[in-house]
Amino acid sequence: MARLARLMPTDEQVERYRRELGDVLAWASALKEVDAEGLRPMAAPADAESHPQVRLDPDVPGVMLDRSKIDGIGPMVDDGFFVVPKVFGDGGA
């Protein structure tokens, strides 16, 4: 993963990240053991019906950013899209 992301971690960092990733995978594996039969899916840790302080606003478009300002953020823009280097296939890592 580090190579694909073009990171250069030290040996100590690699070992630390290996342990942390192992911990995350162990936690995810432990979730398989949880009996979730009969539980309904939730969009948040608490639902709005029984917890009125939890507010889920409707998903509606907001104010749009000015396109010229957005284009100025990236190093290269082509036809309204940011140009990024390939990381897979020809020309990539």
Give, for all 93 residues of the chain, the pLDDT tens digit.
Answer: 777 778 888 999 999 999 999 999 999 999 889 998 998 887 666 666 676 666 667 888 989 888 888 888 878 888 888 888 888 776 544
Query: What pLDDT does residue 27 have?
Result: 94
Query: What pLDDT does residue 91 have?
Result: 54
Query: What pLDDT does residue 66 have?
Result: 87
Query: What pLDDT does residue 20 have?
Result: 96
For residue 87, what are the contacts with CB-CB under 8 A and spacing of at least 6? 4, 6, 93
Are 46 and 54 in contact, with CB atoms under 8 Å apart? yes
Query: What pLDDT does residue 93 have?
Result: 47
